[in-house]
Structure 1
Amino acid sequence: MRVALFTDTFTPQVNGVAKTLQRFVNYLDHQNVEYIIFAPDGNQQSVNTEQVKGFKSVPLYLYPECRLSLPNLSTIRKQLEAFQPDLIHIATPFNIGFAGLYYGKKLSIPMVGSYHTNFDRYLQYYDLNILSKWIWKYMRWFHAPFRQTFVPSEETKRDLIQRGFQNISIWSRGVDCQLFHPDYDHTAVREMYNIDEPYILTYVGRLAPEKDLDVFLKIAESLPPSLQKQVHWLVAGDGPIACELKAAAPKNMTFTGYVEGEHLARIYATSTLMVFPSSTETFGNVVLESMAAGTPVIGAQAGGVQGIIAHNETGKLCTPGHVDEFIEAISDLLFNKKLLKEMEIRARLYAKGCSWTSIFDDLLLQYEVAIDETIMSYA
């Protein structure tokens, strides 16, 4: 199998899509599957640069971690014709993705796509709701030629089907349970950030309006007095509203900036709970990472997050935006050590069943089906 991947976000950009695609490329290397990647330019040291065809790019306004590139169409055609892919996978609907769609049609190469981000739901946070109708019209047109459109959760699948999309399949997400685990020395994180309080409540993710971080701050400010002095808040991530959040944050809140790898794994493992109020996630990679570290998550009952958290088993789900529900959930667990310990164990066990290898194995099988369908259509 020879796969051509078109994406407007890739290493070294920092977001769930880029990280997932990087893991997938590592998997393809291990499986000896030939591939070529068309992506924004960057310092892509972690992949074979001969396989990555980069194009100059600028940050996307609503989502700077994605890039708007200016791909050279004639160069792409030459590279595709030389590579002769069996399948094109288009991961994003912007310029590079559009170039993949154009040549997939023109060269009669079977195509699949993936839907990772609820850009439509972001519009309300930037006062751009007027664009919603046109975005969905474009997205339906863009995905129509694909043999399959892969989404990360059942919730996203239902949403797209209701909006008129067809041929929707699940491509879930996994977690590295050898990196994310509970058995780290918890003193290192406490010493690094000068934390003396007994409980650490953590948020991990992009610092942007669509993550409902206004709700997060209200939760932090509104904890009952009996808990307020016992809690330290840790915010791991960066983004366009980082300065605004820091200015409004209570004294018992520390911002780490962007962290990854073992440092991030230690933060998860040292935390008592992760609090994740975002209602716009198609999946929620950080939720699964936290659970792998044995740290239950209190999240919004929306999007893909509600498909990961089992309410009152591996964490708690709260109505999006309802600060009182989040506070009640936090209080319930911090005052019930037995239940908290049971959730820690169940969260870790759930995550251990989410293997990246099995998820990518299944994706390759779906690739083969898409290729076979094309062969049959010509028979």
Structure 2
Amino acid sequence: MDVRIAIFTDTYSPEINGVAKTLQRLTGYLERNQIEFKVFAPDGKTSVPAVGQIERFASLPFLFYPECRIALPNPSHIKQSLEQFKPTLIHVATPLNLGLYGLHYGKKHHIPMVASYHTHFDDYLHYYHIPFLQKWLWKYMIWFHRSFERIYVPSESTRDKLSNHSFHEDLEIWGRGIDHTYYTPIKKTDEIRQKYQISQSKILLYVGRIAPEKEVDIAIRTFHSLPRHIKDDTHLLIVGDGPQLKLWSGHQNEQMTFTGFLEGEQLANVYASSDLFLFPSSTETFGNVVLEAMASGLPVIGANAGGVQHLIDHGKTGYLCKTRDVKDFTKHTAMLLDDHSRRNQFAKAARQFALTKSWDEIFAQLLISYYEVIKRNVKLHSA
């Protein structure tokens, strides 16, 4: 089958976030399997030249979520590029400007279209004190997605949430994988302790955006609420950047370190050198960092909400806690920090779970789904 895929996104490598990483891995898979593709994406914080199949456009940061960029596309340039490329499928991964253009072009030229839903923007509105926009946002999102033939969602909870809003009739789970040779316990190193001057025997780790919707305050309050004999022997390591970094890093002390943004080997080494992962965010559609931690051999204490609840096997690979319940988070965090044997047992189970999440299998299934949509469209227009 002749397959050429045009992908429209508001974030792409070298930006570092779950969506950008996932799409980069997808295009890598397509390239290895000799499937033609073209990506239309904004420039990031630093200008990146268009290379090969990647078309870049000037952009501005999205108001309350800077990882998403509002592109300033050149419609005539995109039109010319698409006319030359002749896509047989359009995959839209953003409801912003570039996504609107992809939607318009696909409808006008009768090209089969799919979309992927990545972010619960409606949940974010509460954290940025503009909940009154929620009704308008849902109306827009439902209107935007109604013309697509299939919508990909990263988890069961996301599918259920969208179904409750009568979002679309064809919602399919497109999960996420992990490179378990990159995120692995064998990368444990004492250099992390030396670099951040950690003298305590245990490291409690948080990795993610330092932003209101990630509920970093719950991680910090949980740490401070630990029983004295556990807290005195534990160091809280917080990895990430974001709008609240300056606010929270002011609380840094000899037992709590803010590393700022880390990536690559540095990040993999931090995961492997820690003892327990604490991730209280309840707004995740999936939770990529949770899978990274598990692949690195860390049990996870997470919120019993969003995509995270489908990754943690409560009582086997970690614990699920009531959303924003510091007492519950403290109780379960203390249980694992204070029980070396149980922590090791959970760590092994977490690693084993991560080993079952193969990117190649996930992308192979996505490709089958692409073929189904294209075939269905061909039959419809040939009838």
Q: TM-score, normalized by length of structure 2?
A: 0.96
Deviations 1:207-234 (A, max 9, x none): 1000011212211221111112100010
- Contact kept, 8 Å, 1:86 with 1:110, in 2: the verdict is yes
Aligned partners of 2:164, 2:246: CA distance in 1, in Å? 38
2:214 paired residue among 190, 194, 211: 211
Aligned partners of 2:216, 2:302: CA distance in 1, in Å? 12
* Residue type of the alignment partner of 1:357: D
1:102 paired residue among 101, 104, 126: 104
Does 2:58 match 1:56? yes
- Contact kept, 8 Å, 1:175 with 1:292, in 2: the verdict is yes
* Residue type of the alignment partner of 2:145: H
* Residue type of the alignment partner of 2:53: Q
Aligned partners of 2:68, 2:292: CA distance in 1, in Å? 22
Aligned partners of 2:34, 2:324: CA distance in 1, in Å? 46
1:303 paired residue among 295, 306, 312: 306
Does 2:316 match 1:313? yes
User: Where do residues 123-134 of structure 1 align in structure 2 (5 Å cutoff)?
Assistant: 123-134=125-136
Q: CA deviation at 1:165?
A: 1.5
Does 2:18 match 1:9? no
- Contact kept, 8 Å, 1:220 with 1:250, in 2: the verdict is no
Does 2:354 match 1:351? yes
Q: CA deviation at 1:281?
A: 0.3
1:117 paired residue among 119, 123, 131: 119
Aligned partners of 2:230, 2:188: CA distance in 1, in Å? 25
Does 2:80 match 1:78? yes
- Contact kept, 8 Å, 2:211 with 2:242, in 1: the verdict is yes
- Partner residue in 1 for 2:270: 267
Deviations 1:314-344 (A, max 9, x none): 1100001100111110111122222111101
3-state DSSP class of the match of 2:161?
Answer: helix
3-state DSSP class of the match of 1:248?
Answer: coil
- Partner residue in 2 for 1:258: 261
Q: CA deviation at 1:51?
A: 1.0
- Partner residue in 2 for 1:38: 40
* Residue type of the alignment partner of 2:129: D
Aligned partners of 1:185, 1:14: CA distance in 2, in Å? 23
Deviations 1:70-100 (A, max 9, x none): 1111211111111111100000100011110
Aligned partners of 2:38, 2:158: CA distance in 1, in Å? 28
- Contact kept, 8 Å, 2:188 with 2:270, in 1: the verdict is no
3-state DSSP class of the match of 2:283?
Answer: coil
- Contact kept, 8 Å, 2:239 with 2:261, in 1: the verdict is yes
Structure 1 residues 89 and 57, CA, compared in 2 at 3 Å: closer, same or farther?
Answer: same
- Partner residue in 1 for 2:243: 240
3-state DSSP class of the match of 2:6?
Answer: strand
3-state DSSP class of the match of 2:73?
Answer: coil
- Partner residue in 1 for 2:174: 171
3-state DSSP class of the match of 2:5?
Answer: strand
1:200 paired residue among 200, 203, 208: 203
* Residue type of the alignment partner of 2:175: S
Aligned partners of 2:284, 2:80: CA distance in 1, in Å? 37
Deviations 1:151-199 (A, max 9, x none): 0000000000110112100010000001001012421111111111011
Structure 1 residues 24 and 44, CA, compared in 2 at 3 Å: closer, same or farther?
Answer: farther
3-state DSSP class of the match of 2:186?
Answer: coil
Aligned partners of 1:143, 1:13: CA distance in 2, in Å? 25
3-state DSSP class of the match of 2:64?
Answer: coil
CA RMSD of aligned residues (A): 1.3
Aligned partners of 1:251, 1:302: CA distance in 2, in Å? 32
Unpaired segments of 5 or more residues in structure 1? none
Percent identity of the aligned residues? 47
Q: CA deviation at 1:44?
A: 8.2
Greater mean alpha carbon deviation, residues 289-298 or residues 180-189: 180-189
Aligned partners of 2:216, 2:175: CA distance in 1, in Å? 25
- Contact kept, 8 Å, 1:2 with 1:84, in 2: the verdict is yes
* Residue type of the alignment partner of 1:139: M
Q: TM-score, normalized by length of structure 1?
A: 0.97
Deviations 1:53-80 (A, max 9, x none): 1111011111001101111112111111
Aligned partners of 2:218, 2:341: CA distance in 1, in Å? 28
Q: CA deviation at 1:125?
A: 0.5
How many residue pairs were aligned? 378
Does 2:182 match 1:182? no
- Partner residue in 2 for 1:142: 144
- Partner residue in 1 for 2:223: 220
* Residue type of the alignment partner of 1:330: T
* Residue type of the alignment partner of 1:351: A
Greater mean alpha carbon deviation, residues 173-182 or residues 218-227: 218-227
Structure 1 residues 321 and 256, CA, compared in 2 at 3 Å: closer, same or farther?
Answer: same
Q: CA deviation at 1:250?
A: 4.8
Q: CA deviation at 1:31?
A: 0.8
